[in-house]
Amino acid sequence: MNFTIVWSNAALQDLARIWTAVADRNAVTQASNQIDQMLSRDAQYVGESRVGNQRVAFADPLGVRFDVVVDDLMVTIGAVWLTRQV
């Protein structure tokens, strides 16, 4: 399956703040790309389940919270955070 990945405005703003604040911007860029790749394949199995359709996943040094709608093959990333300083 190929899921469409949508980053919410809030998640994009958080990612931009993280990217500008870290010393190793390449690590953040690689992690966000890895998240997109993981979620585009089988999002409903990535990471850990939470309430409803929500899940969390990690690609060092980032964590994301996302919603999966399997019937629509849609993933919406609602939040992103830094899991360690880079």
Question: CATH number of the domain that 26 lies in?
Answer: 3.30.2310.20
Q: What is the pLDDT of residues 21-72, one digit of tens each?
A: 999 999 999 999 999 999 999 899 999 999 988 999 999 999 999 999 999 9
Q: What is the pLDDT of residue 1?
A: 75
Residue 43: φ, ψ to 5°: -55, -35
Residue 74's alpha-carbon distances to 8, 44, 83, in angstroms, are: 12, 10, 25
CB 32 within 8 A of CB 62: yes
Q: How many domains does the chain have?
A: 1
Q: Does pTM top 0.75 for this prediction?
A: yes
Which structural domain range is residue 20 located in? 4-82
Q: Pick from 72, 66, 64, 39: which is nearest to 52 by CA? A: 66
pLDDT the model gives residue 34: 97
CB within 8 A of 74, min separation 6: which ones?
3, 4, 6, 68
